[in-house]
Structure formats: structure tokens, C-alpha cells
Structure 1
Amino acid sequence: MRLPALPLLLTTGLAAVVQLQERQTLAGSNICSEIASNIAGTVYYALTEEFIDGVYHYMTSSEQTPECVVEVANAQDVSTILKLVGSTRTPFAIKSGGHASNPGFSSTTGVQISVAKITEITLSADKSTVEVGLGNVWTDVYTALQGTGVNVVGGRVEGPGTGGFTLGGGYSWKTDQFGLTCDTIQSYNLVLPNGTITSVDSSTPDLFFALKGGLNRFGIVTSIVMETHAQVDMVYGGLQVFDTGSIEDLIIATQTFQTENTDPKAQVILTINGGTIPGAILLSFYDGPERPAAFDPYNNITAIIDTLEGGNRGAFATLSTTGLTKAYMDAVYNESSFYGALAIVHEGLLLSYDVEPFGDYGQYATDSAYPHNLSQLPLNLYFSWKLAAEDSYWRGIMQQSINHLTQVAMDEGIYSADLYAYPNYALDTYTGAQLYGPTNAARLRTIQAQYDPNGVMELAGGFTF
């Protein structure tokens, strides 16, 4: 069972447990009890396994202790809850997979809404689309589609939910073939802030635009209808771990891959790590059964072992560039080494810089809140650490690192003011203009005012436009 940062009072005796349950129930007695009596789903309080699962986040620094966890059964439940929290001005949050790194974006001290039970995965009769409930993680979707001959443009690693990933844009192993995940959405099943249940597609262009990168500011999406694409039975790929002595060769190989690869089915992520486990990880994917020539630049670079780490405090941060140069990637490596040397002093664990060399995926861009028609390349910083006392230090260091690398990108001629930060990688300090550009941010504010005049979604954490 997963255990987030909740008070561990079980060792103080049964009386203390009962008192905690009473306090928790009383704290949430009004709104939580009212919700419980009006929905088909279930309301959970502290010390139950369902409550712990509902609060759980991949990074413990993203967790808060709510009054109750509400596990909704359907869109009607969501409608009822939005009406209640809106009328009582109760803070709330929506959690899909729990991979948001910004505190308060998918967690709350009020009503925690979990869509974990909305797990339908329905392939259309002609296999051209699939409806996906946002309680699924991507491995659920891929498993359900296994053997059907079709697949979707979805997540690249195990764990993230389908909800925040899609509503933030969605970079995929298949992005060079079909665009971001949001470019392949045919419709969203949305509960508006006033509780109205509706379907959003190209016939409602304003909301359709807003949900493609606008995250949780326009209501709660319960399911999405995605385009499917033909999928071969076998694909080539895997994970390789390298020591620090291989990083320069990996940088050179990645620059070659970025500038010379013309095969949209081939994709890699180079992760340069500092901290307690310095080195590099190369994730490789090919949408076909055999190793492609596109991976030849990585030949003769010897890998060592496989390793993974998770479950600590942490955060993401990002910047976008128009390309990759060796000097820029050397600077990324220097950042991981420089700040990695400070890890022991400040309880740092893993300082990860993910270089993602996509191709011309912007040709598939649709009208989206997150502008990506310029095929920008997102750099993803993922830092993890042990102690809450170090939160502000490491988040500040991440921004400091981004500022330095932005200057390097400017000096290298691979930075443009017309590129914007990928929302799913961005610190909570980013503004709407930094994420969406001034034009799109203004458009999003207008749409938000139209569909949420009472500011119901402002009761949930998230970016502001």
C-alpha cells in the first residue's frame, strides 16, 4: 500500500485513532456529508486505504491532507460536486494519476476529487476512435488496445494519468508522426463549472481550443475520445543507463540524432543526472520491430545497469528551444554536475535533465491553448529531495538553472521569444503569457470568463492566465 505524507498516529493507540477519525469527520461533516448523500460514488475519510490512495502523489511534496476524498462514479457525480463546492466556496482539487509536481494543483485541504473509478476504454466499431475515462493511466489504455491493431498518441512512461497529461498537451513517442496527444482528440466529455454536462469538439471551437493545454481551468473532463492509428504488433525500445564517462559521447550522438534523423518513428530521451546517482539514462523507442539506423549515433557507447527512483519530494521545471547544439547540451551537463555537487548538503537525491530531440511535429498542430506549431524542444528538469525544509531551496535552484540555460540558448541562437513553456513541465511560478503566449493567454481569459463567471475553478489550484 502506498503511504503519502499523512500523520502516522497508528502507534498511539486505538483511542487516538478514533479521535482522529472523529476530528476528520467533523472537519468535513458539512460539505463532505452533503456530497456523500447526493452522489453514486463514495466519500472516504482519513486512515482508510481509499483515502490514502486518493491523496497519493508521485512526489510527496505535491500532497495535502483534504477534508475528504470523493471517488466519483460518473459525470453526474462531478456535476453535483461542482454545484456544491461552487455554492459553498469550498476549495477542491481533481486528481487523475497524481504526477503533477506543483503543490496544490491536484491536491487540496478541501474536497479531493478522484476520478479513479472512471475507467471506461471503449474502442469504436470501426476502430477509428477510442473513448478513454480519465481514471486510467496510460498502461491501462495500451493494455486494452493490445492486439486490436490500433493505438493512440499517449504517454511515454508508466504512471502518469490520462487526465493532466492530455489537458496539458501531451508529448508522446508518436509525436513526430501525429503531433501532441491534444492534436488527436476528437472530443472531450466535460462538466462545466456550473455543473452542466456537455461534449466539446470542433463545433465548440473556443472550449475545444482551451482544453488543448489549458489544464483544469474550464471544468472537469471525465473522458476523452481519441483518434487511433495503426499499430504494428512489435516495437523496438528500452532503457540504458550510462556512467558519467559516457555523457560527452551521448551529447554528440544526441546532437547528430536531432539534426540528421528523418525517421518520425524513431525517438529518444537523453536524461543527464546529477545528485547521488550521477550519470545518464537513454530511453529509446522505435515504432517498428527492428532497431532503426536512426539510432546508429548511439552505437559503441557502452551502458552499465538499469535503475529507477521515485516517491520523494520533487518538482519539474522547463524551457523550450528551437534546436539542440553541443554547447547547449554541454551546459545542461555542467548544470547537473554543478548542482549535483550540492545534493548531499541539501538532502538532494536525483537532479535530472531530460533532453528531448523531437522532429517537425508542429506540422500536425491543431488550434491549441499550448502553441506548438514551431516544433519547440522541451527540456524537462526533474529534481527530487528528502526534506520539506529544502522545498524552497531546490525550487529556487531549478529556476536559477532554467535562467542560466535560457541565456545559453540565447547565445547559441536556439531561443525564441515565440516559444513557450510546456505546461506539464512548468513550475507554478510561470505566468499565462509564459505558457501560452500573450495572445492565447488573453483568449483563454475571455473563454474562462464566459464559462466560469463565478470563478468556481479558481477554487482549485492551477495556473492563472
Structure 2
Amino acid sequence: MLPVLSPLLLTSALAAVLSDRQTLAGSNVCDQIAGSISGQVYTPLDLTSHYSQDIEHFMSSSSENPMCVVEVTGTEDVSAIMKIVASTRTPFAVKSGGHASNPSFSSTTGVHISLAKLTQIILSAEKTTIELGMGNHWTDVYTALNGTGVNVVGGRVVGPGTGGFTLGGGYSWLTDQYGLTSDTVISYNLVLPNGTATVVDANNPDLFFALKGGLNRFGVVTSIVYKTVPQPDLVYGGIQLFDSSAVPALIEATVAFQTDNADPKAQVILTLNGGTDPGAILLSFYDGAERPAAFDPYNNINPNLDTLAVQTFASFSQAAPSTLVSGNRGAFATLSTSGLTKNFLTAVANESTYYGDLALLHSGLLLSYDIEPFLKYGEYATDSAFPHSNSPLPLNLYFSWSLETEDSFWRGIMQQSINHLTEVSRKEGIYDPQMYAYPNYALDTYTGPQLYGPTNAARLKVIQEQYDPEEVMLLAGGFSL
């Protein structure tokens, strides 16, 4: 990870951007917040690490320098802040884990609300539900649940926080057994844009629907209550690294896995990498202590590194080295398909190679394409903003680079790659116009109909107008409905 700028350097950078008048106005808002909450307010002048740590993101291009950072301690703090930013029309952001790749989605030059202190993990006495604060990371949750015999349908790699991940839908290692993370939500503790705190559950079907994939358009979620699911003490899985020569065999094996696997406990992610470190990564998981027959298609492909082992779920959750490339500029992009074919995956591999060859000319680092096979998990779908009853398969592009001057180039290249692969999927018969872009992987240029479909997007706009008539949440960035 790149070194974090010191508070003094951040102060200089901020001063170069903000006028005296803006700084004064921001100071007044931040002072007002400081006098209204029990949490802490930090400014660029703060000499501790709180300011810099709270604004840090997985991708440096997602970070901005706010007028102040507010570390909230609970719902009451968030309620007070929402009333102030609404009355002053101050731009703000809400950050959970900091894994959002789109600038201004969880960052701001205004008031930065950090949920880092909201780390409660409360397992019910019956072990049937669990309440998670939105400052948690999934690996912390899995560690806390280790040995309890239960788990939560959560994130797959180190990095994402519980907040944005769940509000975007949430693909999990347990998705084939239970659906998306949002399908397992019992209730949300939500602060509405007007500052009113409320509990959103099935008794409020419109907001309940909107928060399942609708992200940050309807208020600030401080904690979520989830259903728990049974978890064996030991699982099988790990990571395997391959050089580029293994890619054709890995493609054949992944098509066979997608076509033949009928075991919902077995899942894989195949990552094809271009750029400065070409090759492939296979991340495999089985929700049990033995290697399943479902992994047989991969048996005769020799990796350069193999960490497959029987281990706890908490240990397995830290297997993917996803933080090794953090701290660089970057973005996600995506498309969804109804299936996987050899020709489609070969086209994906060709994209990683073709654009990988451009990396050194444009400060490119890692250019990865994540292929994610799933079964018919849509049978577990609930009424959700992000439609998934038809079990779309998300392809995730993650590109990273070092220079800000190359932002437009690489984001344009990512969309160009998505457009090409969409055409390939049409020719392969795996394009479905009713399979939409997964919100947590989508570029910020996507609109409501592209993420949710025209029907759900229209419903979301009605809900937004009902609960946020003053358009307070538009001050926090995010996708346009």
C-alpha cells in the first residue's frame, strides 16, 4: 500500500483547493456538528492519524480531502449530522469499509462520516440472528463467529466492509446455498435523510426493497440484523497461482465446473491477470472439510503456488491476497451473463492480454478479470432493488494504475472492454437484457435502468421522492436513478 499522506501534507493540499470563504463555511458546519454529537470531529489540522485513516480507501483515486471527518458513535450522532447537512446543504459522504471504487461514492470535500467506531457484533442467544455495525470488516465478523457453529452470508475477500457490500447486494461463498447477502437481511437500522431514526424490515416493504441493492440513496444505515446460517467447524479451500500458459486449461476447467457442478457448497473464482504481473489465480471454496468432486476439472493443472487446505472459515476468509494491490488508483467495471462458454472466457483472456500490453505505456499495474461461476441462486432471491431471481453471473474487471492523468484513459478502456465482451456474450447466446450490472462492481457512469432495470429503477425513484423529498442524499454522491 502506498504511504498515507501526513495530516500536514493533507492540510496543504486542502488549502490549495478551498477558498477562505469555503474554509470558513466548512469550519462553521464542522463546529456545529462537533457541538451536537458524542463522537469525534477531526480536521486536516489534526495531528493524530484519525483524519488520514478515516478517509483512506482501497483505491487511492476514491479518496478526497474533506473539511472534517466525523467518527460517529451511534445512531444519535448520525441523526444530528443528517439534520445539519440537510439544513446547510453541505456535501457529505458515508464510509464503511472504503472499498467503493467510484470517486465521491464514499468520499467528499465536505463532511466525511466515518462508521469505523460502529463495530458491534451481537449474536442472539439462540444463534439465529446477528447484528453487525457498519464499521466492521467481514474478516473481523468471521473471526468473532469462529467456533460458534454459525456464520453469516458475507464477503469473500479481505477489504470490503459490511455496509456498502450489503447495500449493493453482496455475493458470498455461501450464495449458492442462501442467495445474496441482502437476501438474508432481517432488518436495517436506518437514519432517514431528515434525521429520523427507524427500523426497516418486511413491515416497510418499499424501503426494505430499496435497501437491497439500492446503496446510499435512502439514508444512512448504522447496523443490520442478518439471519445466521449453519457453519461447519472446518472448510476446504485456498488459493492457487498459475502462469499464463495454464490459462487455456483453466478456461476449459471453469466451463466444465459451471456446466457440471451441482453441489451448492462448492464455489470458485478464476481471475485472469494482465499488466505487470500476468497469469491466473484460482480461489476455491468448499463448505465442508473435504475436497469435493466438483473441483476435479482442475486436478491436472499444475500451479506455481498452492495453499489449498482444510481450515476454519475465518482462516480461509483471509486467503486471497486482495490487499497487495491496494493504495493505487483504480476502478471496477462489470457485465452480467446467463452462462459461461469457452469462447466467451477465451475472449476475456484475450482482453486481459491485449490491454495488459498497454500497461507500461499508461502507468498500468494490474488488469484483472474475475470470472465467478454460480448455480441457480436466484431461487433464494427476495424482493430486491437489484434483480437477481434469474441468477446473473457477474464478471468483475479491476484495473489499477499509478498516475491521476491516466484516470480517463483506463476508465474508458474498461468500458470499451465491457462493450466488446457484451457483444461476444450476444454471439455466444449468454446475453440476457434482463440481467443487469451488479451495483458493487459498476462504473459511476451507469444509471438506474442499467443497474436495476426500468421497472425497479422507476420504483426506486418513487421511494426516493417519498423519503427524501429535499434530495439530501444527492449531496452524498452515488448512482443516478
Report the CA distance between 1:6 and its aligned residue: 6.9
Aligned positions, number: 462
Quote the RMSD (CA, aligned, Å): 2.2
Secondary structure of 1:334 counterpart: helix
Deviation of 1:198 (Å): 0.4
1:187 corresponding residue in structure 2: 187
Contact 2:2–2:328 (CA under 8 A) maintained in structure 1: no
Residue number in structure 1 paired with 2:401? 385
Distance 1:76 1:7 in 2: 28
CA contact (8 A) 1:4 1:63 kept: no
Question: Per the alignment, in what secondary structure is the counterpart of residue 264 of structure 2?
Answer: coil
Q: Out of 20, 31, 34, which is 1:36 matched to?
A: 34
Is 2:429 aligned against 1:413? yes
Does structure 1 retain, via aligned residues, the 8 Å contact 2:186–2:227?
A: yes
Q: CA deviation at 1:28?
A: 3.0
1:222 to 1:172, Cα distance in 2 relative to 1, 3 A: same
Matched-pair contact (CA < 8 Å) for 2:5–2:52: no
Quick check: 1:132 aligned with 2:132?
Answer: yes
Structure 2 residue aligned with 1:372: 388
CA shift digits 1:13-38 (9 cap, x unpaired): xxx99999x98975631000000011
2:235 pairs with 1:219 = no
Partner of 1:319: 335
Is 1:449 the counterpart of 2:447? The answer is no
1:266 to 2:266 alignment = yes
Gaps of 5+ in 1: none
Is 1:435 aligned to 2:451, yes or no?
Answer: yes
Alignment partner of 2:100: what SS? coil
Distance 1:270 1:17, change over 3 A: closer
Shift of 1:9: 3.5
Which runs of structure 1 show a deviation greater than 2 angstroms over 4 or more consecutive aligned residues? 1-12, 16-20, 22-28, 305-310
TM-score, normalising length from structure 2?
A: 0.93
8 Å contact 1:5–1:60 — kept in the other structure? Answer: no
SS at match of 1:130: strand
- Do the aligned residues in 1 keep the contact of 2:265 with 2:288 (CA within 8 Å)? yes
Task: Structure 2: give runs of 5+ residues left out of the alignment.
Answer: 307-320
- What residue identity is the alignment partner of 1:30? N
Whole-Å Cα distance in 2 between the matches of residues 167 and 90 of structure 1? 23
Question: Using the alignment, how far apart are the partners of 1:10 and 1:402 within structure 2?
Answer: 36
The residue matched to 2:238 in structure 1 has which SS?
A: strand
The residue number in structure 1 matching 2:285 is: 285
Q: Is the 8 A contact 2:14 2:65 kept in 1?
A: no
Q: 1:217 deviation in Å?
A: 0.3
Assess if the C-alpha contact under 8 Å between 1:2 and 1:52 holds in 2: no
Secondary structure of the equivalent of 1:153? coil
Displacement after TM superposition at 1:344 (Å): 0.4
User: Judging changes above 3 Å, is the alpha-carbon distance between structure 1 residues 10 and 39 closer, same or farther for their aligned structure 2 residues?
Assistant: closer
Secondary structure in structure 2 of the residue aligned to 1:246? helix
TM-score (norm 1): 0.96
Return the offset for 1:48: 3.0
What is the aligned partner in structure 2 of residue 162 from structure 1? 162
Overall identity of the aligned pairs, in %: 70
The CA distance in 2 between the partners of 1:17 and 1:291, in whole Å, is 53
The CA deviation at 1:300 is 1.3
Q: Say which SS state the counterpart of residue 359 (structure 2) adopts.
A: coil
